[in-house]
Amino acid sequence: MDIKITKTNQPKIKPTDESNLGFGRTYTDHMFIMRYNKEKGWHEPQIKPFEYISISPASPVLHYGQAIFEGLKAYRNLNDPDGIRLFRPDKNCERMNNSADRLCMPPVDKEIQLEAIKRLIDVERDWVPKSPGTSLYIRPFMISDGEGLGAFAASEYIFAIICSPSGLYFKNGLAPVKIHVERQYVRAVKGGMGFAKTAGNYACSFRATYDAAERGYDQVLWLDGRENKYVEEVGAMNMMFVIDGKITTAELNGSILPGVTRDSVIALAESLGYELDVRRISIDEIVEAHKSGRLTEAFGTGTAAVISPVGEFEYDGKTMMLNDNKVGPVAAHLYDELTGIQLGNKEDKFGWIHEVPRY
């Protein structure tokens, strides 16, 4: 792919205080962008200074919501600070195309996406923060473009990638979160677009999340949209439960987002000798396992936090405390192993790491 690269002559000042980066608040100097139309397909890939995207007020994305995205991170190798690494970026590129297909958007060849990410990160290498636990968050996304108020899929599209230095997710190490089990609202239904990483799924989730936040909960746990009975996932994380010592998680059923972290934790846990149980899990079973002391831990998995232990669930007005609101041994072990691979402290047995070349 021939990417035209235009570097900024007004580089921004990089954050000096890496302890206060937060998440997604500042952006690097450059972005990747390319456009699609029916005649030319994807064309004119460019890396250029970060700037506003101009679209028509009649652009279909503003009215009908064809918008999908991905999220992954670039890390500095702890043993070689010049080495910049990506964790399973190929999985994100695949998922982008699965989301595109669901929303009738054109796929972007996986190799082209990968090259676009690597080239952009190469240009922005100095933006990858150095402090432990920090990373450069990478946000590829696609929106429909052009003009037309007719309610059908657009014929023009924009694919872009932006980056944002991001801080340590938990300032004081792994910290357990409080989760409300949602009964009134649902996030997705089988046959809908729950498996796609699309803007609409987030718009759909805010009401319940804000209501729960007002009552002191960090996140909501979604139940299935048909029977309101089976546990699905949390906010932007998949969910795992340790029941009778087995790591138990919901099977992918079309309404759950297939997390790269979920997939990695399953493979890693198996290789470390844990028993895995991937199946439908009802909320009644969770309540029962908690009551009888067989539910010892629960944790979310996702790119942002990697592993996020749960200290408390609230369901139907009743509180279930887990592991004394402390980080459990399984969550801590998996967190160490997975971040060890990401940061270059542990052997990458699975071939998950992609080094960012110097082009």
Ligand X SMILES: *Cc1c(COP(=O)(O)O)cnc(C)c1O
Q: Which residues on adjacent β-strands are paired with residue 298?
A: 241
**197 lies in the binding site for ligand X (CB under 6 A):** yes
- Tell me whether residue 209 or residue 261 sits nearer to ligand X (CB atom): 261
Helix, strand and coil percent figures for the chain, each rounded to 5: 25, 30, 40
The least CB distance from residue 245 to ligand X, in Å, is 24
**208 lies in the binding site for ligand X (CB under 6 A):** no
Residue 112's H or E segment, with its range, is: helix 110-123
Cα 145 versus chain centre, distance: 24
Near ligand X by CB under 6 A: residue from 124, 224, 232, 233:
233
Per-residue x/- marks for ligand X, 313-342, CB under 6 A?
Answer: ------------------------------
Contact 104, 191 (CB under 8 A): no
**Which amino acid is it at 39?**
E
Torsion on CA atoms 104, 106, 110, 116, rounded to nearest 10: -130
The least CB distance from residue 71 to ligand X, in Å, is 6
- Tell me whether residue 113 or residue 303 sits nearer to ligand X (CB atom): 303
Cα 92 versus chain centre, distance: 9
Per-residue x/- marks for ligand X, 147-186, CB under 6 A?
Answer: ----------------------------------------
Whole-angstrom distance, CA of residue 193 vs CA of residue 198: 8
Q: Which two tokens stand for residue 137?
A: 């968050």
- Tell me whether residue 116 or residue 266 sits nearer to ligand X (CB atom): 266
**225 lies in the binding site for ligand X (CB under 6 A):** no
Per-residue x/- marks for ligand X, 248-287, CB under 6 A?
Answer: ---------x-xxxx-------------------------
Q: Which two tokens stand for residue 146?
A: 């052009």
Whole-angstrom distance, CA of residue 155 vs CA of residue 152: 9
The least CB distance from residue 312 to ligand X, in Å, is 20
How many residues at the interface with ligand X, by CB under 6 A?
Answer: 14
**129 lies in the binding site for ligand X (CB under 6 A):** no
Q: Which two tokens stand for residue 162?
A: 């932006």
**302 lies in the binding site for ligand X (CB under 6 A):** yes
Binding interface with ligand X (CB under 6 A): 71, 197, 233, 236-238, 257, 259-262, 301-303
